[in-house]
Structure 1
Amino acid sequence: MENVMESKVQTDLGTLEPAGLWKYFLALSKIPRGSKNEAAAAQWVADQAKALGCTVTRDAVGNVIISKKAAPGREGAPMTALQAHVDMVCEKNEATRHDFLTDPIALRRDGDRLLATGTTLGADNGIGVAAALAVLESTTIKHGPLEVLVTIDEETGLTGAGGLAEGVLKSKYLLNLDSEEEGDLTIGCAGGVDTMANRKVALRPATAGKSPFRLKVLGLKGGHSGVEIHQGRGNALRILAGVLWSLAPRFGLELVSLAGGNKRNAIPREASAVFFMDGARLAEFQAAVQGMAQDYRSSLGAFDPGLAMEVGPKADAPAQVMEDRDARAVVNFLYTVAHGVETNSPDIEGLVQTSTNLAIISTTGDTIEVSTSQRSSIASAKMDMAYRVAASCELAGFSVKRGDGYPGWKPDPKASLVKVVNAVHERTFGKPMAIKAIHAGLECGLIGEKYPGMQMVSFGPSMWDVHTPDENVSISSVGNFWKLLVAVLETV
């Protein structure tokens, strides 16, 4: 039965259109390509392009740069670059057995949606990579001279775009294929920076007679910290801290460790605390936890209805616990440090201007590490938010370091490329595009900094719950994305 079902799924996926694009996406999904583990996938892209007769180079950081000659009669058209990133965010549900270092993504179809099975899908940005390869393969698209830039490590620092040298690309136009809503034409994005902190805690033996337990917060939607930060979703770290702040003194909890989140650009869906407590009070503690879970569900409402909390024994817990003063300082920090939208744009309706994401906490021995990320379309506001988070860290006894960050991409709605793509969309689909800037980061900011004369836009198919195990993409929307891409390439 298992082999029959597997065959049925593969046959079903084999009928997807446009066939060329989906062929490359299905093949790419078999190659592990989490950020910083995408070397094999990048080499695969280079090999596909070479097999198609294109000129291929690799730069010092591992980006793939591809050139293809113009279709007959289009030699005089301006050169256009297609750009996508080959890496993906690796998130899975706790119960899912999947090794992102070795296992292919298990794809499945549900009507018009393509999903993975308990993991992120990698449509972000595998669809863009697949589309670029399908364009390179095509002998019927009447395009001008082309470049394709496939970058590495976009999701954990944009290091591929950051390492791209000046003068490598020759294109006048760049089409970024990393947007996530059909019909939107993105012409600007926020800049971002990561703020990390660590703190030593004093340890002591757990009190005799107390037993180890684990409290887990789960069931939240999570999501992209730029795209979904304004949607009222719960932050598992903040909720866990709220429960501990309220119940630790009442039940005499002795904290061992905190863990939660695993990507700086993802809202944490799950978090847990290990602690010692009087086992005779377990039922009372569980009831108190479930009461708080209900309160949080009421507060989150339809924004994030799946919140759950679990309490159970933790057999392999270390016998060392944090001193109460240190445990309280860490919990206080998690409960109070800024998270979410700080300000909305006064100029663009519906656009978040500045935000911060409380992303990750981990415990290793006597060291607590916390990662956060800040975004803004205003460079000074981005840094002000980062400084405020750093101040909160220092108040709680943490040492702080900051990443290099990346620039935003200033919108230019009057650019000729914006007008061309919008006109092509209206001609193809009978309506104009929604021209907007986004709060998420795109590689266009870094590329534009090195190629200031290059005009850029970003578009893509509709996909949802990106950076979570619920990530899915609309199959029909991918078809429309392909129609638009082809029509644009035949027009510019």
Structure 2
Amino acid sequence: MYSNLEELTSHEVFYYFAEISKIPRGSGNEKAISDYLVRFAEERNLEVVQDSALNVIIKKDATTGYENVPTVIIQGHMDMVCEKNQDTIHDFEKDPLQLRIEGDMLYATDTTLGADNGIAVAYALALLDAEDIPHPTLEVVITTEEETTMNGALAVDAAHFKGEILINIDSEEDGKLLVSSAGGVHVTQVLPIKWENTTEHEVAHSIRIKGLKGGHSGISINKERGNSNKILGRVLHELSTEFQYSIQQINGGLKPNAIPREAEATVFIQQEDVEQIKKKIDKYNDILKNELQFSDPKVSIVFEKTDISSSNVFAKETKHKAITSLLLIPHGVQGMSMAIEGLVESSTNLGVVTTTDTSITFESEIRSSVKSVKSYMVTQVRTIAEMLECEVLIDSDYPEWPYNPDSKAKKLFEETYKEKYGKEMEVIAVHAGIECGVFIEKIPGLDAISIGPDIFLVHTPDEHISIPSTINNWEYFIYTLKRMKDLL
């Protein structure tokens, strides 16, 4: 296939993927990539709009013979999840991704790859740049902050669009046609900290959870992978039943929509308890390796002395509420769909725990394909917070994408797949937030589907994309655009 990056980037899609991989584009840091997209359009004399949320809309006229075909909206998002291991040196604010090929897969070195959703941007740019691909009038919209709040899509002005069909390129399984997704909401519990001073006989140690696989909190939530924040809560609770100790800080996870892989607490313990606590943690290591032997066989708890200059620790009341929060805030699958076999209907992910000078925050991503169930799960978290006298913040509430059995786009994509490959395409729904739901709510009657190549271990430093699948999916995509005449 391709033995090096120079050969790979001779393909139009991977050329643009490599170009955008040079531009830092974590959620909330999209100005540079947004400006790049605007320059791209202006250099090709294409109509372009950059709105206040930094979303970019690029329009291209239909090719000859396609002037009367319904306008098509091509959609993806420009931001990526920025994940790395703690010992990896990489500044996501300024450093380019370091791409590498292993076999027929493309990786970034020790960081997330950003194929979610850089591949949509690459497809769109390759299509807009091409002069030999037949297509209807195109309205390409690349949004911001999809991975955190969906505020980009929520801010889009529907008046910019005349499109009747939406092709979202944010799916992650080649040969599968995505036709429905879950809605979601970001919920943050804020626990005020009361501080006190530790005693001079207590020694600072760190308790660190590591070695977990993590993953996308929607796609991977049914894989029963360990959550480092929840595990840390269990460990801290177990220690509190036998030992007197203090906590100075608890931190875990990086993104609400990524299952947390690492978490750490700084604790102060009596010197005479150190060996007994070490033995207790060794036993708990064995417990976790047994519980997670199939999902996270490399899980470990690291207990070691650490140098801390501050003697401030949580007051006993704060310590109790922090541990209780870690234990009680829900995580994992909350319900399975009775309509689609194997589909998670509802879930929640305790993704991020952060200690500041004034508070401990617990961030959860709640998802459901049923609006009323999503609301009920928010009520559960709110009730736990109220019981512990915590504040609750709710944002980034985005709608579900309901299944449309009468979709003409669905029918066309199924037909072209069978023509091209001689087999039926699998139609699926996904337990993740897809922007289709937002656009359908904004543009009544919009007919939407989602496609994409095979992407693996998204939202983790091991994220990678199949090179053959990317090319195959691209060819299927442009073949179906050519067949859009059939919708007349």
Superposition deviation, residue 166 in structure 1: 2.1
2:334 counterpart of 1:376? no
Query: More deviation in 455-464 or 311-320?
Result: 311-320
The residue aligned with 1:6 is none
Superposition deviation, residue 18 in structure 1: 7.2
Which blocks of at least 5 consecutive residues in structure 1 are unaligned? 1-9
Distance in 2 (CA, whole Å) between partners of 1:432 and 1:169 is 32
Distance in 1 (CA, whole Å) between partners of 2:310 and 2:356 is 11
CA contact (8 A) 2:178 2:430 kept: yes
Query: More deviation in 277-286 or 128-137?
Result: 277-286
1:421-461 per-position Cα deviation (integer Å, ceiling 9, x unaligned) = 01111111221221111110011111110111111100000
Superposition deviation, residue 212 in structure 1: 0.6
Query: More deviation in 42-51 or 151-160?
Result: 42-51
Distance in 1 (CA, whole Å) between partners of 2:153 and 2:462 is 27
The residue aligned with 2:424 is 432
The residue aligned with 1:448 is 440
CA contact (8 A) 2:3 2:101 kept: no
Distance in 2 (CA, whole Å) between partners of 1:73 and 1:17 is 31
The residue aligned with 2:140 is 148
2:191 counterpart of 1:191? no
Distance in 1 (CA, whole Å) between partners of 2:356 and 2:310 is 11
Residue identity in the other structure for 2:323: V
RMSD: 1.4
Alignment of 1:61-460 (within 5 A): 61-460=53-452
CA contact (8 A) 1:274 1:317 kept: no
CA contact (8 A) 1:330 1:396 kept: no
2:35 counterpart of 1:43? yes
Distance in 2 (CA, whole Å) between partners of 1:262 and 1:398 is 21
SS of 2:432 mapped into structure 1: coil
Residue identity in the other structure for 2:37: V
2:23 counterpart of 1:31? yes
Superposition deviation, residue 279 in structure 1: 3.0
SS of 1:180 mapped into structure 2: coil
Number of residues of Structure 1 aligned to a counterpart in Structure 2: 483
SS of 1:403 mapped into structure 2: strand
Residue identity in the other structure for 2:45: G
The residue aligned with 1:57 is 49
Q: 1:18 to 1:298 in 2, by over 3 A?
A: farther
Distance in 1 (CA, whole Å) between partners of 2:84 and 2:272 is 35
CA contact (8 A) 1:227 1:440 kept: yes
Q: TM-score, normalised by structure 1?
A: 0.96
Residue identity in the other structure for 1:395: M
CA contact (8 A) 2:183 2:433 kept: yes
CA contact (8 A) 1:186 1:457 kept: yes
1:139-161 per-position Cα deviation (integer Å, ceiling 9, x unaligned) = 11111211111111111111111
1:134-190 per-position Cα deviation (integer Å, ceiling 9, x unaligned) = 011111111121111111111111111100112211111110000011111111111
Superposition deviation, residue 11 in structure 1: 7.7
Residue identity in the other structure for 1:60: S
Residue identity in the other structure for 1:224: H
Query: More deviation in 117-126 or 430-439?
Result: 430-439
Distance in 2 (CA, whole Å) between partners of 1:385 and 1:378 is 11
Superposition deviation, residue 23 in structure 1: 0.4
Superposition deviation, residue 325 in structure 1: 2.9
Distance in 1 (CA, whole Å) between partners of 2:292 and 2:439 is 38
Distance in 2 (CA, whole Å) between partners of 1:145 and 1:139 is 14
Runs of 4+ in structure 1 over 4 Å off: none
Superposition deviation, residue 318 in structure 1: 2.1
SS of 2:448 mapped into structure 1: strand
The residue aligned with 2:461 is 469
SS of 1:457 mapped into structure 2: strand
Query: More deviation in 440-449 or 365-374?
Result: 365-374
1:38-73 per-position Cα deviation (integer Å, ceiling 9, x unaligned) = 111011112112222321111232211111111222
Distance in 1 (CA, whole Å) between partners of 2:328 and 2:54 is 40
CA contact (8 A) 2:150 2:396 kept: no
SS of 1:333 mapped into structure 2: helix
- Over the matched positions of the two proteins, sequence identity in percent amounts to 38
CA contact (8 A) 2:62 2:135 kept: yes
Superposition deviation, residue 317 in structure 1: 4.8
Distance in 1 (CA, whole Å) between partners of 2:389 and 2:317 is 11
CA contact (8 A) 1:409 1:444 kept: yes
Superposition deviation, residue 223 in structure 1: 0.9
Distance in 2 (CA, whole Å) between partners of 1:50 and 1:457 is 29
Distance in 1 (CA, whole Å) between partners of 2:308 and 2:84 is 23
Q: TM-score, normalised by structure 2?
A: 0.96
Which blocks of at least 5 consecutive residues in structure 2 are unaligned? none
